[in-house]
Amino acid sequence: MEKTIAAAYENAPKTWVYKLLLVFGVAAMLIWSSSTIVINDTTGSGLSVAKNILSGIFHPDTKLLFNFTNSGVLYLLLETLCIAFLGTIVGAVISVPLSFISASNLMPRPIALVGRLAIAAIRTVPAFIYGLMFIRVTGPGPFAGLLTMSLCSIGMVSKMFIESIEDLDKRILESLDAAGCTTFQKIRYGILPQLFPDFMSTLIYRFDMNLRDATVLGLVGAGGIGAPLIFAMSSYRWNEVGSILLGLIVLVMIIEWISAKIRTKLTRG
Amino acid sequence: MIVFDHVSKVYPNGTVGLKDINLSIQDGEFVAIIGRSGAGKSTLLRSVNRMHDITEGTLTVEGVNVSTLKGKELRRFRRGIGMVFQSFNLVSRTTVIRNVLAARVPEMPFWRVLLGAFRKEDKITALESLDKVGILDKAYIRADQLSGGQQQRVALARTLAQNPKIILADEPVAALDPVTAKQVMEDFVRINKEMGISILLNIHHVELAIEYADRIIGIHAGQIVYDGPSKEVNQDVLDAIYKEAVPQGKQT
Amino acid sequence: MSFYDRIFKPRRHTLSNGKVVEERFTRLPLIMLIILVCTAISVRITGFSFSVLLSGGQRFFDILFDMFPPNTSYLPKIWTPLLDTIKMSLLGSFIGAVLSIPFAILAASNIVTNRALVFVVRLFLSLVRTLPTLVCALIATYIFGLGTMAGTCAIAVFTFAYVGKQLFEIIETVDMGPFEAMEALGATRLQAFIASVFPQVLPSYLSVSLFCLEGNVRYASILGYVGAGGLGLIMNEKIGWREYSSVGMILIVLFVTVIAIEGLSHAVRKRLT
């Protein structure tokens, strides 16, 4: 009996070699990437800037915050919200056909693959490059931001749409076939009801993300709240920075709360 | 030795769990507790290692008044008592031996717990425990790849690795098929007879209780209605245990 | 009966056997109306116009066509910023993912019994999540100066908030049976957590962290735009100088890198579950 236990002990799989390699691998990677830790604080004002931003958030510029004109925080937030909203919708309109083309259970493999590559390519280009490209079309302003947002939404939205499409329950189609439905009827009563809640849920989630990303557009002059934020920062007007950040945080949290509510309702029916 | 002396338990919502329980269980006994669902079997069992608190009376286990224990003392006390659950309560994603080694965790320094670096003695103890329940060959397999009966044996091995004086088993065979249930009950008997560990278990199957346990305790609405050798359990006794529960208000 | 049902009365159907079934009026018109109104407002505010799109649409492709053929001679100069981008996302993801562990534990209501603590930690996590990564990088450039440090920091903050939220949700869906067993055999709550909850959440945690890393490579490439190092820096520069064929080269390299990292991480994640 002693022997069998000793044998069992010896027979333990030697996972430590594997673990050691893993630890070494991760450690090597971290050491390699630690070269990014360079504090380039030429002005030596890092800490005071951090303090200023914090104090700015707690003492926001209320004049700017509750200003109802075109340059007030409220209007800029509304503009950002509109860019995100319409961007999501336009993105969705483009994504629907694109994701049906790329769904491997509906289309032949080569076509689906090309579709997926196109989506991946669209995703690769960073938002600010799209922003610069659209500014040539529309001139600076929220319109360019909206178009940028649409293109940026396509990648993630199509990816999620494709997943929903590939998860379709085909047994329902079979039963509709058995009931003698035409192709159109099968799509209308067999496929759409399955896809609709998933699609809506994806879009609401994306809207939530777009709102966050839309703040960035101002950097290239494509509207929204980003531009005033940067101006305020580069001229060290921390109270303005504080009021803009505060407004942004409140807006994003409200939208997140609403979107979470709607999405749980969609999944639970 | 476990002694219940006028023990009662009332839940915060007013439900009576136990009512004036007087009971003493000697070392090395094999006791089965039977009764309807909600009669208080589980409460009785779980009060022994204070997974549930009692509200009145004194409960003494191995000479220790259970109600006075807290923090570190309570945990040290619990180490001497094994517990087996209906749903096995194994970490299904890890190997069998890791599950058994969990029993050694309370005695290990923090860094060993964090890194999962078990000492050789602990591993040998774990393997021996697995050998005692006959599944030594499964030591390095993931727990979720075993059958229900084998998983319950892993849980049993985990309590054996604690070196307990008492094993509490809360419906240990309720999730198993009849044949496996018998095998697990036989394991309990073997552990009871060969290692002299007291065994206290809750069970739904009356036949299994009578066949394997030495002593039966019947509970009805939080009170003991039968306490005696399993051979003397007859239809009248069972009727008393399993009769319709009288609604709370009408009880005298 | 909600407000909406009071305005649009439910329809009543009487079956042949006399039973009455109420059918609530569909919500569709209300939803459509809300979406339409929002769209109309958005169109006004953003100045959306099809005619501008049609007349100027081809100019969008001007830059795109200028990118091809990409300037291959620029390739050797891309490597350093590319590696910087990868390093930033690796280190940032690692730091963020590790930092998120204690917060996620404190935010899990099945582990921490103190409701107030759970609420405060969750509020903190969602506050951090509201901060757009680029804004975060921008702030970091003011604190740490221009360079990769700011980028690493921004990515760590983003990862922290994202993984933290996912992780506490994973912890809350864990099987608490083994935890109970550990407490019954005399372990402290911390020991019980490490021995029973850790092994259950580890694969999902790693998977979420890797997923986050995939996205971070993309993000890291943008951060340079605000001076936080990496590919964004040279992209911004080349756009400024209108050297679009070099931008094209950068994008191709980025595309290949992202696909490669996604493929690798996807393969690892498949093995984890």
3-state SS string for chain A: CHHHHHHHHHCCCCHHHHHHHHHHHHHHHHHHHHHHCCCCCCCCCHHHHHHHHHHHHHCCCHHHHCCCCCCCHHHHHHHHHHHHHHHHHHHHHHHHHHHHHHCCCCCCHHHHHHHHHHHHHHHHCCHHHHHHHHHHHHCCCHHHHHHHHHHHHHHHHHHHHHHHHHCCCCHHHHHHHHCCCCHHHHHHHHHHHHHHHHHHHHHHHHHHHHHHHHHHHHHHCCCCCHHHHHHHHHCCCHHHHHHHHHHHHHHHHHHHHHHHHHHHHHHHC
Asked if C230 and C171 count as a contact pair (C-beta separation under 8 A), the reply is no
Has this prediction a pTM greater than 0.95?
no
- Tell me how close the Cα of B124 comes to any Cα of chain A, in angstroms: 7
- Tell me how close the Cα of C229 comes to any Cα of chain B, in angstroms: 36
- C56:A138 CB<8 A: yes
A23 neighbourhood in chain B, CB within 8 Å: none
Chain segment C172-212, per-residue pLDDT in tens: 989 999 999 999 988 888 899 999 999 899 999 999 999 89
Nearest-angstrom CA–CA distance, C273 and C271: 6
Confidence at residue B252, expressed as pLDDT on a 0 to 100 scale? 40
Instruction: Check residues B160 and C132 and name the one with the higher pLDDT.
Output: B160
Classify residue B195 as exposed, middle or buried by CB count within 10 Å of its CB (0-12, 13-18, 19+).
middle
Q: Does residue C163 register a pLDDT over 90?
A: yes
End-to-end C-alpha distance for chain C, whole angstroms: 45
- C199:B94 CB<8 A: yes
Place of tokens 């040998």: B124
| Identity of the residue in B120, B131, B140 whose CB atom sits nearest the CB atom of A4 | B131
Chain B interface, best mutation among A1, A3, A5, A14, by max B CB count within 10 A: A5
Where in chain B are the domains?
Answer: 2-250
- Tell me how close the Cα of A79 comes to any Cα of chain C, in angstroms: 6
* Nearest Cα to Cα of residue A120 among A149, A146, A159, A77: A159
Strand-pairing partners, residue B84, are B169
- B94:C182 CB<8 A: no
Confidence at residue A269, expressed as pLDDT on a 0 to 100 scale? 63
- C84:A36 CB<8 A: yes
* Nearest Cα to Cα of residue B47 among B35, B65, B31, B29: B65
CA triplet A247, A250, A254: central angle to 5 degrees? 140
- Tell me how close the Cα of A9 comes to any Cα of chain B, in angstroms: 7
The CATH number covering residue A101 comes to: 1.10.3720.10
Q: For chains A and B, what is the number of CB pairs under 8 angstroms?
A: 23
- C52:A78 CB<8 A: no
Task: Mention every residue, 6+ apart, whose C-beta is less than 8 A from residue C166.
Answer: C208
- B131:A9 CB<8 A: no
B103 neighbourhood in chain C, CB within 8 Å: 185
Three-state DSSP state, C93: helix
Task: Please tell me the least confidently modeled range out of B55-69, B100-114, B229-243, C73-87.
Answer: B229-243
| Identity of the residue in B81, B85, B159 whose CB atom sits nearest the CB atom of C177 | B85
- C200:B88 CB<8 A: no
Q: Does residue C164 register a pLDDT over 90?
A: yes
* Nearest Cα to Cα of residue A223 among C221, B159, C47: C47
Q: Which CATH architecture has domain B2-250?
A: 3-Layer(aba) Sandwich (3.40)
C183 neighbourhood in chain B, CB within 8 Å: 51, 78
Interface pTM (ipTM) of the complex?
A: 0.84
Nearest-angstrom CA–CA distance, B35 and A226: 69
Confidence at residue A141, expressed as pLDDT on a 0 to 100 scale? 84
Task: Mention every residue, 6+ apart, whose C-beta is less than 8 A from residue A98.
Answer: A115, A118, A119, A154, A158
Residues of the domain holding A232: 61-268
Instruction: Check residues A127 and B155 and name the one with the higher pLDDT.
Output: B155
Instruction: Check residues A45 and C123 and name the one with the higher pLDDT.
Output: C123
Strand-pairing partners, residue B82, are B167
Nearest-angstrom CA–CA distance, C270 and C98: 22
Chain segment B116-169, per-residue pLDDT in tens: 888 888 898 899 899 888 888 888 888 888 888 899 999 999 999 988 999 999
Strand-pairing partners, residue B142, are B95
Confidence at residue B245, expressed as pLDDT on a 0 to 100 scale? 56
Report the half-sphere exposure of C132 (CA within 13 A, side-chain side): 29
For residues B98-108, give the mean pLDDT: 89
Nearest-Cα residue of chain B relative to residue A14: B140
Q: Does residue B250 register a pLDDT over 70?
A: no
| Identity of the residue in C49, C91, C138 whose CB atom sits nearest the CB atom of A30 | C91
- List subunits contacting chain A, requiring 3 or more Cβ pairs under 8 Å: B, C
Task: Quickly state the pLDDT bin for B249 (edges 50, 70, 90).
Answer: very low
C47 neighbourhood in chain A, CB within 8 Å: 138, 141-143
B78 neighbourhood in chain C, CB within 8 Å: 183-186
Q: What is the CB neighbour count within 10 angstroms for residue C121?
A: 21
Count of domains in chain A?
1
* Nearest Cα to Cα of residue B136 among B120, B119, B153: B153
Asked if residue A243 belongs to a domain, the reply is yes
Judged by a CB distance cut-off of 8 A, whether residue A16 touches chain B is no
- C177:B88 CB<8 A: yes
Judged by a CB distance cut-off of 8 A, whether residue A4 touches chain B is yes
- A129:C259 CB<8 A: no
Rg (CA), chain C: 26
Asked if residue A250 belongs to a domain, the reply is yes
Classify residue A167 as exposed, middle or buried by CB count within 10 Å of its CB (0-12, 13-18, 19+).
exposed
Residue type at A226? Answer: G
